[in-house]
Amino acid sequence: MFDERLDKMEEECGVFGIYGPGNDVASLTYYGLFALQHRGQESAGIAVTNGNHIKIHKNVGLVTEVFSEEDLKKLKGDIAIGHVQYSTTGITSALDAQPIVCSYLQGNIALAHNGSLTNAKELRNKLANNGSVFQSSTDSEVFVNLIAHYGQNPIEESLMKCMIDVKGSYSLVVMTENKLLGVRDPYGNRPLCIGKIGDGSYVLASESCALDTVDAEFVRDVDPGEIVVIDKNGINSMRILPKGKKALCIFEYIYFARPDSTIDGINVNYARYLMGCELAKESPIDVDVVVPVPDSGNASGIGYAETAKLHFSQGILKNRYVARTFIKPTQALREISVRLKLNPIKRILEGKRVAVVDDSIVRGTTSKKLVEILRKNGAKEVHLLISSPPVKFPCYYGIDTSERTELIAALKPLKEIEKYIGADSLHYLSQEGLYKAVGKSKGFCSACLDGNYPIPIPSGEGLGKNCLEMSNDKVGNHAK
């Protein structure tokens, strides 16, 4: 399958949970997942408990494809969790979809996970040696089996013990028959926030845009290393000691998150605007018009144009109805798959020196096609401005960055990338500029930009295909 999304960093999942006795929790979760659809488009699932047992509906597809009104009516209960997923390997059956539901010593449990464990294989082997049975290859199933392994303890304590064993990146929503729990890894690598609905119901979500959708008021972000427990007694919290400095994925601000979300106190749209402002200070160029690549380039395009005092225009239209490009095009047809998503407006471009603002370049294939299309539509000059530093290193925390051998900035110096893409000039935002925009003191992971991996990566085992080419030593070398 050729998919233009492969030329972007891809988020793996979005999670949502609601403790809402008296509410239609399945429908609210459906709307919450719909708001998080940008975080994963390959599968969706909702699990609901009525206090006695857990019902689940999940399948391959978009939220609107997986759930009919009838499906939602069958999911009656007081607590629900939901999940949307993107997978590097492709999801072919409902078995790979989440939430995962199982029974253990304390009763029924459902779990949905965003992130990736760096010691998943090691833990899986240990658990399998002790008799655990696995149905899929997901890290999330490792979590569920670990919870069962510590099943003689109440769920909160089991989760605490799991957090000591697991390494990597995770935000979880977990549901028992009478509790909703939210867990954020000790580095806070993935976002997770808490909201409250007027009647006293609580909501957990990967992004605040999902809280807005279900009319929940933002309460706060879950802290790194925190377990939030929501039940009939209200909301309580437990914490494990931080394992290191906070390391929220900086790409949430660059590309993943929806611009209307606020994560750890920073509004995504404003962060992108400031990235554009910084880029204009670092790389002022003389052009007739600044055009953003929608949607993630919009705010930084405005920031760039305002700071550089240049004319801004939406010269590229995004087709809002294309979720995925399924057909495998020939080389000649690849342009069509770019055009399907991004179509230039000739009147705005014709005869102009154009600065195009995009959020990032991964392999460079889409940028190359885009520059070609802009020229065909009359642009006299095309200057590519990227509102993030070059992506040079793979991510081991659950983001699909492509392998290092496919990352154009890991392979070619700037001038060669510029030449490959066919732009008149190419400018990236510096890492200092990026930190000025988001505020470095907040604590970020920027490993794919600088090779400094904040969460330890054991060599080889359990890291998936990307890691096999890099031993710990090599990771250290990359960081230099």
> Which parts are annotated binding residues?
249, 296, 358-359, 395, 445, 448
CA angle, 123 as apex, 122 and 124 as ends, to 5°? 90
Return the closest-CA partner of residue 479 out of 460, 451, 459: 451
Among 397, 410, 421, 463, binds ligand SF4 (CB under 6 A): 397
Could you give the dihedral angle defined by the CA atoms of residues 396, 401, 403 and 409, in that order, rounded to the nearest 10 degrees? -120
Helix H segments across 388-443?
A: 408-411, 414-421, 431-438
Among 166, 355, 445, 467, binds ligand SF4 (CB under 6 A): 445
Q: Is 378 exposed, middle or buried (0-12, 13-18, 19+ CB in 10 A)?
A: middle
Minimum Å distance from CB 444 to ligand SF4?
7
Site stretch for ligand SF4 (CB under 6 A), options 18-26, 144-152, 277-285, 444-452: 444-452
Q: Between 377 and 387, whose beta carbon lies closer to ligand SF4?
A: 387
Residue type, 291: V
Among 222, 310, 399, 434, binds ligand SF4 (CB under 6 A): 399
Among 384, 395, 407, 437, binds ligand SF4 (CB under 6 A): 395
Among 62, 193, 447, 470, binds ligand SF4 (CB under 6 A): 447
Q: Partners of 184 in the beta sheet?
A: 171
* Residue 448 binds to ligand SF4 (criterion: CB under 6 A): yes
Minimum Å distance from CB 196 to ligand SF4?
29
The rounded distance, in Å, linking the Cα atoms of 117 and 435 is 27
Residues contacting residue 56 through CB under 8 Å, at least 6 positions apart: 45, 46, 47, 48, 99, 101, 110
Helix H segments across 309-426?
A: 331-341, 346-349, 365-376, 408-411, 414-421
Site stretch for ligand SF4 (CB under 6 A), options 308-316, 343-351, 368-376, 394-402: 394-402
Site stretch for ligand SF4 (CB under 6 A), options 221-229, 328-336, 402-410, 446-454: 446-454
Q: Between 97 and 362, whose beta carbon lies closer to ligand SF4?
A: 362
**Catalytic sites, residue numbers:** 13
Residues contacting residue 126 through CB under 8 Å, at least 6 positions apart: none
Residues 125-164 that bind ligand SF4 (CB under 6 A): none
Minimum Å distance from CB 363 to ligand SF4?
15
Return the closest-CA partner of residue 77 out of 29, 10, 148, 11: 29
Minimum Å distance from CB 437 to ligand SF4?
14
Among 189, 213, 337, 388, binds ligand SF4 (CB under 6 A): 189
* Residue 251 binds to ligand SF4 (criterion: CB under 6 A): yes
Q: Between 19 and 187, whose beta carbon lies closer to ligand SF4?
A: 187
Q: Between 189 and 313, whose beta carbon lies closer to ligand SF4?
A: 189
Site stretch for ligand SF4 (CB under 6 A), options 198-206, 247-255, 381-389, 413-421: 247-255
SS3 400: strand
Residues 1-40 that bind ligand SF4 (CB under 6 A): 9
The rounded distance, in Å, linking the Cα atoms of 398 and 402 is 11
Strands 289-292 and 316-318: unpaired
Is the separation of the CB atoms in 248 and 446 below 8 Å? no
Query: Per the annotation, where are the binding residues for [4Fe-4S] cluster?
Result: 249, 395, 445, 448
Q: Kindly determine how many residues on this chain lie close enough to bind ligand SF4 according to the rule CB under 6 A.
A: 12
Query: Per the annotation, where are the binding residues for Mg(2+)?
Result: 296, 358-359
* Residue 446 binds to ligand SF4 (criterion: CB under 6 A): yes
Residue type, 242: P
Q: Between 349 and 399, whose beta carbon lies closer to ligand SF4?
A: 399
Is the separation of the CB atoms in 107 and 168 below 8 Å? no
Residues that bind ligand SF4 (CB under 6 A): 9, 189, 249-251, 395, 397, 399, 445-448
